[in-house]
Amino acid sequence: CVDIVRSSWGAINRIGSTASGLQRLGNLFKLCNPLKSVDELKNWLLDMYGNIAMVDYPYPTSFLADLPAFPARVFCSNVTSAILRLRKNDDEDVVRRIIKGTNVFFNYT
């Protein structure tokens, strides 16, 4: 899990290095507003990672978002077990794995 998260920063930078790449990232993450820079996306992810770490309790919580017990474990499980169409270690595959992980915080119900 940690290796995928680490590699995601470079993958996001590489994909988002062009205007069309920023648009692609926005589409992949299903963002409401277009990205102006990769830093916007990376800051959003950092906030989410911090929130997951802060509420990584052994029981479900709902004060930040509806979260399962041990949301960090669920995040890592989603990231590492995601079955995706693309080959492993492709930049877009890495990003799709992170997106699958974010579902624990943004789409868990």
- Secondary structure of the chain: what % helix, strand, coil (to 5)? 65, 0, 35
CATH of the domain at 76: 1.20.120.980
Instruction: Report the 3 state secondary structure along 28-57.
Output: HHCCCCCCCCHHHHHHHHHHHHHHHHHCCC
- pLDDT of res. 64: 83
Neighbouring CB atoms inside 10 A of 6's CB total: 11
- pLDDT of res. 87: 58
- pLDDT of res. 9: 98
- pLDDT of res. 86: 53
Residues in contact with 35: Cβ distance below 8 Å, sequence separation at least 6, in sequence order: 16, 22, 23, 25, 26, 41
- pLDDT of res. 63: 84
| Domain residue limits at 35 | 2-106
How much is the pTM? 0.89
Neighbouring CB atoms inside 10 A of 49's CB total: 16
Q: What is the pLDDT of residues 27-82, one digit of tens each?
A: 999 999 999 999 999 999 999 999 999 999 999 998 888 899 999 999 999 999 86
- pLDDT of res. 98: 96
Q: What is the pLDDT of residues 78-100, one digit of tens each?
A: 999 866 555 556 899 999 999 99
Tally the domains of the chain.
Answer: 1
